[in-house]
Amino acid sequence: MNEQDLLQELMKASEEDKDLTPKQAKILQAAIEMFAEKGYAATSTSEIAKKAGVAEGTIFRHYKTKKDLLISIVSPVVTRFAIPFFADRFVKEVFEKETNENYDDLLREIVYNRFEFVQKNTTLVKILFQEISFHPEIQQLFAENFLEKVYPHFIKWVETYQRSGDISKDFPVNTVLRLIMTTVIGFIITRFVFLPHYDWNDEMEIEKTIEYIRKGLS
């Protein structure tokens, strides 16, 4: 994904994208690149301004602090990453259809869907995972999105497939959640953040991840 495509993804994800000025777009693009390259703490607003080709004061006219700029980048990533991880697909395909999908097909859809999202938005997601440990605001944002919009649907999803016998009833719902999330997110972070240049066989790794989850929870 080139720089323009990346910026468009951020702008589409933002609830206020229609209000972005050209200078704001340049600031966001520069901040994304600098935060991904150097990390939030090591990046100064003067560096962002220089890369964006704007005066440093322009940044503070749009964002009161550097933290506000970071949150403006991370917030849409959380919205597009955390919520769709389970909620959108589950609601549409599990709860709003008379005929539920096959458990294996749905599990495969979850893994492939999130893999493709991170593949297309690696820089933004890298910023999210680099900074979430250091900023309570980001942790709260992630938790609120997940607990309010994902978790209730996940409970219903697990219960549905525990009744069908696809997921063992020996596992509490929270345990199922933890095992699936840590497996999928762990694979994705390793693939795109920790070891991006490793000679990956993506299709095989995805299928083995799915097999691991399916067998482990059965």
Q: What are the pLDDT tens digits along the chain (218 aa)?
A: 444 454 555 555 544 444 667 888 888 888 888 887 888 788 888 988 999 998 888 888 888 888 888 777 777 666 666 555 555 554 565 445 544 467 888 788 778 888 887 887 787 777 777 777 777 877 887 777 777 777 887 788 888 899 999 999 999 999 998 999 899 989 998 998 889 899 999 999 999 999 999 999 99
At residue 94, the pLDDT reads 46
Contacts with 187 (C-beta within 8 Å, 6 or more apart), sequence order: 205, 206, 209
At residue 155, the pLDDT reads 84
Asked if residues 84 and 117 have their Cβ atoms less than 8 Å apart, the reply is: yes
At residue 2, the pLDDT reads 40
pTM of model > 0.75:
no
At residue 217, the pLDDT reads 94
- The whole-angstrom separation of Cα 170 and Cα 172 is 7
At residue 133, the pLDDT reads 74
Give me the numbers of helices (H) and strands (E) for the chain, helices first please: 11, 0
At residue 125, the pLDDT reads 77
What is the token pair recorded at 47? 């560096």
CA angle 192, 36, 109 (to 5 degrees): 35
At residue 71, the pLDDT reads 78
Find tokens 């962002």 and name the residue: 48
Contacts with 59 (C-beta within 8 Å, 6 or more apart), sequence order: 27, 45, 48, 49, 52, 69
At residue 95, the pLDDT reads 47
Instruction: Say if residue 180 is exposed, middle or buried (CB neighbours under 10 Å; 0-12, 13-18, 19+).
Output: buried
- Structural domains in the chain? 3-62 (1.10.10.60), 72-217 (1.10.357)
At residue 15, the pLDDT reads 41
